[in-house]
Every structure is written in structure tokens, then in C-alpha cells.
Chains A and B, each alone.
Chain A
Amino acid sequence: GQNIDQPTEMTATEGAIVQINCTYQTSGFNGLFWYQQHAGEAPTFLSYNVLDGLEEKGRFSSFLSRSKGYSYLLLKELQMKDSASYLCAVRASGGYNKLIFGAGTRLAVHP
């Protein structure tokens, strides 16, 4: 079966660092994506990992370990505007670029 797990909710303080974990079990693997989604809006693309290791993009970094079926999204220097849901998605094998999504992690950033 296909399964993607991430925590339902997290809280953090403005200026701090937060790590959002994602574990997956899918039929094949062809890339992992992170999206940000503010309430009432569409998901927006944050990062993509297909090889093991860390990808850094400004305040956001994403890590992948394919052997462990594990990824995390690291958010540094948190800002109030980072309060949003963060979606982990895996592109499994089988073509057509279909993504399987986790239920999302709702992050609340407090002053």
C-alpha cells in the first residue's frame, strides 16, 4: 500500500527553527516534494528531493533518506507568515507524474 505520515500539528516561536518530518512507504519512489499551503489558498511548491541529502533554498531546507523512507523540511528564522500547512508528497513509480500526499502538518508560529 501507499502511506505517507507527518505530524498533524506543530507550534514554534518566531525566530526559531522547526523541523517537520515525513515518512513514506510507497510502491516505488521517483521524488519527494514539499508544498506550503496557507488557509484558504492553493498549495505552493517549496522543494524537491530525488537523491539522498540536503537541499537548501534560503530559509527552507529539505532532507531525504531513501533507504529510511524519510524526509524532513527545516524552516529557519521563523516568521509569522510561515504559519501554514506543510504537505509532503511522493511521486511513486508508474508514470504520469502522479503525486501521493500526506495529510499535512499545520504549523502555528507564535510571537
Chain B
Amino acid sequence: DAGITQSPRHKVTETGTPVTLRCHQTENHRYMYWYRQDPGHGLRLIHYSYGVKDTDKGEVSDGYSVSRSKTEDFLLTLESATSSQTSVYFCAIRGDGDSGNTIYFGEGSWLTVV
């Protein structure tokens, strides 16, 4: 258990509405990530953070923004949700010093945009 909590775990929203997913960690990890997982594509990196207020884009960042105002919280925002953003979203943290700084995942947030 890497001490990661995602909320909400499940959400249905309408096209065009804003949505924020929250990732909370309790072990003071510096690196945090947001991935999405879709059939046939595997896990794809949306955004990542390497410290408070330090964030950068991943490979599929269009339509998403992030914020990290505290070490423990990493927020993912869909400014105006579209059906193509229906997906499972996983937050992850980097374990420090173990097994090559392995990435550990939260339980996931299932988002449906109708």
C-alpha cells in the first residue's frame, strides 16, 4: 500500500462540464503522476509533478490541466469534458530508493462522459 487515495472513484458527467479528480498521498513522495488507461492503448501519461507547483506535460495532455499546491495533493482537471475523455484514471507516485524507484498506482477513478 503506497498510501494513495483517489477521489471520486466513479463519476458520470455531461459533455462540456468541468471535472476535477483528486489524488492524495500520505508518505511525502516528491514525484506524482496521472495516467489514463484505455483498451488497446495501455497506460498513457497525462501530466506529472516533481514537486510543489512543479508540473509538466506527458504524452496525452491536451484537454487536461493539473495543480499541486501541497506535497500530498495532485489534482487533475478536465476543463470541459468530452466523450473521448471517458477512461480510467490512475494516479501514481514514485517509490524512493526501492526496486529502481518503482512507480506505485492508486486504485483508479472511473470517469464516464455522456
Contacts and interface: CB of A to CB of B under 8 A. Distances in A.
A103 B40 CA distance: 6
A42 B106 contact: yes
A43 interface: yes
A96 B100 contact: no
A30 to B, nearest CB: 8
Nearest to A88: B42
Report the interface size class on chain A. Answer: 20 to 34
A2 B28 CA distance: 31
Contacts, number: 53
Given A42-B108, A96-B50, A96-B56, A101 B44 contact: yes
A43 B43 contact: yes
B101 A98 contact: no
Contact of A33 (B35, B42, B48, B102): B102
B72 interface: no
Contact of B42 (A41, A42, A91, A101): A101
B41 A103 contact: yes
B99 A48 contact: yes
Contacts of A99: 43, 45, 103
Interface in A5-53: 31, 33, 41-45, 48, 50
A52 to B, nearest CB: 15
Interface of A: 4, 31, 33, 41-45, 48, 50, 87, 89, 91, 96-104
